[in-house]
Amino acid sequence: MEKYSVIIIGGGPAGLTCGITLASSKGKFDFAEEKKYLVIYDDYSDLDKALLRNVPGIQKGIRGKDLLKRIRKQASEFDNLILKKGKVVEAHGEKGNFTVKLESGEEYRSEYLVVATGFHRFDIKGLDLEIIPHRKSPRPGKIMIKNEGGKVRDGLFVAGLVAGVPTMYASASGSGAEVACDILSEWAGKTVVVHDVPDTD
């Protein structure tokens, strides 16, 4: 069974941003050189039905499904980040030893686990999470996983709408980046972020 440094369940804005941020740390930190990451996503993302007109830096009027394709393409360009289409039905374990099982029967292991499954429902068995009403959803009946700043417990994080952020693309994406930086900071033993700067002459 293949083992990853981090498995991210969910391939919407939060999950993909988390994966890209983690993957982009290679070449910037010695501790990140041998790390590898897996994003598992299924057929649906709320971004599929969105039309984006108010996201800074993103073309006004782009359809969410087109943006999602671009982000997946960007993610696939990292050699330490794998995208896997599938439905997670079960996950269990603790920091250093999580196991994720797909509907197909495939299983993967990881040191850390990030849940970024959206705010509609949570039906993955085995993690013993506290599901509560979403605090910032304009629609009733939406859920989130109880957490403190994205952290549920050691090694287990939530990102995006399931973490309780507002139902906006920029909020979900930012939540994914923040969780990635928190994981990198744990590995570094100090606060780190992943920045790029242009080459200078």
Q: What is the pLDDT of residue 201?
A: 58
Residue with tokens 């990030």: 114
For residue 2, give the nearest of 116, 87, 102, 75 by alpha carbon: 102
For 124-179, write each residue's pLDDT tens digit: 999 999 999 999 998 899 999 999 999 999 999 999 999 999 999 999 999 999 99
| Torsions phi, psi for 158 (to 5 deg) | -125, 150
Residues constituting the chain: 201
Query: For the chain, which domains are there?
Result: 3-188 (3.50.50.60)
